[in-house]
């Protein structure tokens, strides 16, 4: 009775899956730590260099304008920081087009529900902050459902097209692989290369900065160090913000589809490793059973 009870308890608690979960956990922690080490080596020296350069510029500024003083410089920096949150350009008295107007407020609402959260626009009033919390609570699940539906619809179109060609052509597997490859390349061009060229032309970014912004946005990381349609010194065309909104929506659906494929791949690897462990355990059990039989015959 006790072995049966312990077997049911292990099955209930899924103890047999613990080694695979532990293995994935070790890989996850190692991946994060290695990434942190690489970022530290790549960015640490640059930050220290910028700190020394900033101190040097601050000393020169205080020498050039001794009447400002350290306290005055601190107040000026705080004023610039607050002005930037309000959309005021430090170069002029112009404000970013539509800061907390309907268009930019709609873009902010989209960054909330998509969890991009650039941070270039933030609610400053208590009422706005409270509404943002409740808006995100209901908007984020709605966004996930819609993007999931759109991603599955895009995948269904691709599969139906593959099935149609497979009926017309004998080599079905080759056709399916070719269609998936063409779809991936064309989507990458549409959601990364074309926007990269557009942002380079209208934002003045380099190719590396533009492709970096594309991935940081579509992956919903949203650091906020680069934000399109946010420079008060640039007169953007009217269609620019609408095109960015459409690119973000469909790009998120496409990237979510790729991430789901990656998750399926990792889960397949996990299932394969678990199957190998079970197969090895069955082989060991089959080897032990003849030994037990021989011992029983000897006794």
Q: What is the pLDDT of residues 175-234, one digit of tens each?
A: 667 777 787 888 889 999 999 999 999 999 999 999 999 999 988 888 888 988 887 778
Which parts of the chain are beta strand (E)? none
Q: What secondary structure, in 3-state letters, does the chain show?
A: CHHHHHHHHHHHHCHHHHHHHHHHHHHHHHHHHHHHHHHHHHHHHHHHHHHHHHHHHHHHHHHHCCCCHHHHHHHHHHHHHHHHHCCECCCCCCECCCCCCHHHHHHHHHHHHCCCCCCCCCCCCHHHHHHHHHHHHHHHHHHHHHHHHHHHHHHHHHHHHHHHHHHHCCCHHHHHHHHHHHHHHHHHHHHHHHHHHHHHHHHCCCHHHHHHHHHHHHCCCCCCCCCCCCCCCCCCCHHHHHHHHHHHHHHHHHHHHHHHHHHHHHHHHHHHHHHHHHHHHHHHHHHHHHHHHHHHHHC
> Average pLDDT, whole number, for the chain?
77
Map out the domains of the chain with their CATH numbers: 22-86 (no CATH), 122-229+237-282 (1.10.287.70)
Q: What is the pLDDT of residues 217-267, one digit of tens each?
A: 988 888 888 988 887 778 888 788 888 888 988 888 887 777 766 665 666
Q: What is the pLDDT of residues 38-72, one digit of tens each?
A: 888 888 888 888 888 888 888 888 888 888 777 87
Main-chain dihedrals φ then ψ at residue 88, nearest 5 degrees: -85, 130
pLDDT of the residue at 130: 92
Which two tokens mark 273? 């490793």
Q: What is the pLDDT of residues 133-150, one digit of tens each?
A: 999 999 999 988 888 888
Average pLDDT (101-129) is 83
Decide: residue 36, CB within 10 A, 0-12 exposed, 13-18 middle, 19+ buried: exposed
Average pLDDT (98-123) is 80
């Amino acid at each position: 009775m006790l072995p049966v009870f312990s077997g049911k308890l292990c099955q209930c608690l899924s103890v047999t899956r613990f080694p695979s979960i532990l293995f994935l956990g070790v890989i996850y922690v190692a991946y994060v730590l290695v990434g942190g080490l690489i970022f530290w080596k790549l960015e640490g020296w640059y930050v220290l260099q910028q700190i020394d350069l900033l101190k040097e510029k601050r000393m020169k500024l205080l020498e050039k304008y001794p009447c400002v003083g350290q306290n005055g410089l601190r107040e000026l920096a705080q004023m610039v920081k607050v002005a930037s949150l309000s959309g005021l350009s430090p170069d002029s008295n112009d404000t970013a087009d539509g800061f907390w107007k309907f268009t930019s407020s709609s873009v902010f609402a989209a960054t909330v529900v998509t969890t991009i959260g650039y941070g270039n626009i933030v609610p400053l009033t208590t009422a706005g902050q409270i509404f943002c919390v409740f808006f995100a609570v209901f908007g984020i699940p709605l966004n996930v459902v819609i993007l999931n539906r759109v991603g599955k619809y895009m995948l269904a179109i691709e599969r139906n097209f593959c099935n149609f060609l497979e009926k017309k052509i004998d080599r079905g597997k080759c056709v399916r692989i070719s269609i998936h490859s063409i779809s991936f390349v064309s989507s990458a061009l549409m959601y990364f290369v074309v926007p990269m060229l557009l942002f380079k032309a209208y934002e003045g970014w380099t190719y590396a900065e533009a492709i970096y912004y594309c991935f940081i946005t579509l992956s919903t990381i949203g650091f906020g160090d680069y934000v399109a349609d946010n420079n008060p010194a640039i007169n953007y065309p009217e269609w620019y913000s609408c095109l960015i909104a459409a690119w973000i929506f469909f790009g998120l659906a496409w990237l979510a589809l790729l991430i789901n494929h990656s998750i399926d791949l990792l889960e397949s690897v996990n299932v394969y490793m678990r199957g190998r462990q079970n197969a090895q355990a069955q082989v060991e059990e089959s080897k032990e059973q003849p030994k037990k039989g021989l011992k029983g015959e000897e006794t």
